[in-house]
């Protein structure tokens, strides 16, 4: 089954986002925090809302936390 996990929590004050496996990182969130692509850990990549829409169509199940 193709499942999309959307972690919708602030990066501070909760460990939900910290413990998640993130492959796409919100560009708006990165920009708001002054983070660059080079500062991301290996694996996660800057993403867009268009890409999120594509993943949502691809998935058989979408789970939002």
Domain that holds residue 42: 3-7+20-64
Please state the length of the chain: 65
Q: Tell me the Cα Rg of the chain.
A: 12
Structurally, how many domains does the chain consist of? 1
pLDDT digits 0-9 by tens, 3-13? 998 887 666 66
pTM confidence score: 0.68
**Sequence-distant (≥ 6) Cβ neighbours of residue 20 within 8 angstroms:** 5, 7, 65
Say if 12 falls within a structural domain.
no
Residue pair 4/52 in contact (Cβ under 8 Å)? The answer is no
Average pLDDT of the residues of the chain: 84
Residue pair 65/9 in contact (Cβ under 8 Å)? The answer is yes
* CA separation for the pair 65, 52 (Å, rounded): 15
């Amino acid at each position: 089954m193709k499942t999309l996990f959307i972690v919708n929590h602030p990066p501070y004050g909760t460990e939900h986002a910290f413990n998640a496996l993130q492959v796409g990182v919100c560009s708006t969130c990165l920009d708001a925090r002054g983070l660059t692509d080079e500062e991301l850990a290996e694996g996660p990549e800057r993403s867009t809302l268009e890409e999120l829409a594509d993943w949502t169509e691809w998935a058989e199940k979408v789970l939002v936390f």
